[in-house]
């Protein structure tokens, strides 16, 4: 449920895009074209960094889930037949 609360509404996305556009125009008017271009590059880098960070989190979650599933499967297998593995189980 908290994940759904973090998803912005379409109107919020529109507002954010308008804000960024306005911010860019203000930088262009007050600081010049060079500062505006630097700002655009910085924003693009931030977006790329955010995407990479999210991908890293997703990969970490997938690996953790896979590891937990394997551990649970091993416990069930040993628990159903015997409590401790024998030497033949370990070879």
Q: What is the pLDDT of residues 40-70, one digit of tens each?
A: 999 999 999 999 999 999 999 888 888 887 7
Domain that holds residue 79: 8-90
Q: What's the pLDDT score for residue 3?
A: 64
Q: How confident is the model at residue 65, as a pLDDT?
A: 87
| Domain contains 2 | no
Predicted pLDDT of residue 17: 83
Please state, in angstroms and as integers, the Cα–Cα distance from residue 78 to each residue in 28, 67, 69, 86, following that order: 67, 17, 14, 10
Distance CA 42, CA 24 (A): 12
Residue with tokens 């449920």: 1
3 assigned to some structural domain: no
Length of the chain: 91
Is 83:76 a contact under the CB 8 Å cutoff? no
The pLDDT score that the predictor gives to residue 87 is 59
Average pLDDT over residues 12-24: 84
CA dihedral 64, 67, 73, 77 (to 10 degrees): -150
Structural domains in the chain (count): 1
């Amino acid at each position: 449920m908290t994940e759904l609360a973090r998803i912005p509404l379409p109107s919020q996305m529109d507002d954010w895009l308008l804000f960024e556009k306005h911010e860019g125009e203000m930088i262009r008017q007050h600081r010049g074209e060079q500062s505006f271009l630097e700002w655009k590059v910085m924003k693009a880098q931030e977006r790329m960094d955010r995407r990479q960070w999210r991908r890293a989190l997703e990969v970490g979650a997938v690996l953790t889930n896979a590891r937990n599933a394997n551990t649970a499967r091993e416990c069930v297998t040993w628990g159903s037949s015997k409590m401790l593995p024998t030497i033949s189980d370990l070879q």
